[in-house]
Structure 1
Amino acid sequence: MRVRPYGHEASIIDRLAHGTAAALRVTVLDACKSAGLRCIDVVPAATSLVVTHEARDSEAIRRVLASISDRGSVVTRTTGPLVDIAVRYDGADLADVARACSLSVERVISLHCDAEFEVSFCGFAPGFAYLTGLPSELHLPRRSSPRTRVPAGAVAIAATYSAVYPRESPGGWHILGTTNETLWDITRASPALLQPGMRVRFVRTT
């Protein structure tokens, strides 16, 4: 874990272990609040966390972040709200994934449904959440030939992540199924259905 300036009004903590940034976000917010400091935003990524703040608070906030770092990267995971997402396992890549992983189609579905995922970070497109917790048996690199059009609601996997495409877009992940859930809706108080720290389960439906 390393703390560095990220311009005049932000700091970055990097060299984090995969899957720890969302939990570290809570630690940072709590520590800054206890110190009487205001964070404008705290944004997790795969192995880093960016904290934006007022320029006048830069030194004080970096001292707080350094203190967290000095504690040896101990991060207390919190139990975020659980979101169930109904999935029809009718994806175009389901059979190919089964073959690549030397599993039956039913076993692929079972592994995906039985896992409890966590929203590690968001990116790529509004509402696109990177979910950690994919069983190792399903770890695959991205498709060698990305699609130019992936439909909204496509439930997919790539590398160590699962995700749901919030809208039609290009994409190179392996599509296992589809959902009718709306991942991004600007008319909601919180447009993104999934946010860092939340837990996600995929529920098979027909």
Structure 2
Amino acid sequence: MHRLARTGALIDLERLEHAKIVAIQARRVDVDGRLREVIPAARTVYLQAAPEHLEEILSRLRDAPVEAVAQEEHRLIEIPVRYDGQDLDYVAERLRMAVGSFVHRHSTMEYEVAFFGFAPGQAFFGELPNDLRLPRRSVPRTRVPSGALAIANEFTIIYPEQSPGGWHLIGHRAGPPLWDPHADPPSRLRIGDRIRFRDVT
């Protein structure tokens, strides 16, 4: 665990599942509602509270039993996508499967919005099984279009805006944007939402 200034703490963890459990436990031990932020990422959880409350919350969290936390009920959201990305053939070849087999596997799984990061509205959907994982591209692209569907390591993402990116492009979003900075709230997704990609290719 690392203290960040006087009001924040970053807890390092081994796995995404551990980060999710710690984030849920942090909300539960905050019986006084003093936590300002609980932000899970792939293998960390960031906590923010007033200096006079943060150490007490961290102490409660350290004393909390280490056990599996029941998953809360979350929305199931279907996202229509077209599997027509420029890296799709390469991805299938590297994974030693036919393109159709990869598309079927990827589009029939259920994912979870694990965390947000990298760019505003950038949701990370996890986790891919081991046989569908590839490392990031060795040479990132300088421009990836908004709505591109991509994979790297254990995650799938949909780029909310045009940006540089080093992920493998397997398709693109076929429905309305998931992120609109002018909307309230700007994101259609929340951490913990269950996601299914519907193939409309």
Question: Above 0.5 in TM-score?
Answer: yes
Residues 194 and 23 of structure 1: CA distance in aligned 2, closer, same or farther (over 3 Å) = farther
1:18 is matched with which residue?
Answer: 16
Matches for 1:16-165 after TM superposition, within 5 Å? 16-32=14-30, 34=31, 36-68=32-64, 71-72=65-66, 74-165=68-159
Residues 59 and 133 of structure 1: CA distance in aligned 2, closer, same or farther (over 3 Å) = closer
1:205 is matched with which residue?
Answer: 200
Distance 2:117 2:75 in 1: 20
- Cα drift, residue 66 of structure 1: 1.1
Distance 1:72 1:16 in 2: 14
Structure 2 SS opposite 1:95: helix
- Cα drift, residue 172 of structure 1: 0.9
Distance 2:156 2:94 in 1: 17
CA deviations 1:84-108 (Å, max 9, x no partner) are: 1100111111111111111001001
Q: Contact 1:116–1:133 (CA<8 Å) still a contact in 2?
A: no
Distance 1:17 1:72 in 2: 14
**Unpaired stretches in structure 1, ≥5 consecutive residues:** none
The two structures have a TM-score, normalised by structure 1, of: 0.90
Read off the aligned partner of 1:51 and give its amino acid letter.
L
Residues 124 and 192 of structure 1: CA distance in aligned 2, closer, same or farther (over 3 Å) = same
Read off the aligned partner of 1:42 and give its amino acid letter.
V
- Cα drift, residue 4 of structure 1: 4.5
Read off the aligned partner of 1:193 and give its amino acid letter.
R
Distance 2:179 2:198 in 1: 20
Matched residues, number: 200
Structure 2 SS opposite 1:91: coil
Note if 1:186 corresponds to 2:184: no
Structure 2 SS opposite 1:60: helix
Read off the aligned partner of 2:177 and give its amino acid letter.
T
CA deviations 1:106-127 (Å, max 9, x no partner) are: 0010111111111111111111
- Cα drift, residue 40 of structure 1: 0.6
Q: Contact 2:145–2:163 (CA<8 Å) still a contact in 1?
A: yes
Distance 1:188 1:21 in 2: 29
- Cα drift, residue 73 of structure 1: 5.1
Q: Contact 1:22–1:196 (CA<8 Å) still a contact in 2?
A: no
- Cα drift, residue 161 of structure 1: 0.7
- Cα drift, residue 6 of structure 1: 2.8
Residues 181 and 136 of structure 1: CA distance in aligned 2, closer, same or farther (over 3 Å) = farther
**Unpaired stretches in structure 2, ≥5 consecutive residues:** none
- Cα drift, residue 80 of structure 1: 2.0
Structure 1 SS opposite 2:10: strand
CA deviations 1:29-67 (Å, max 9, x no partner) are: 1220x2x24111111111110110011212221221212
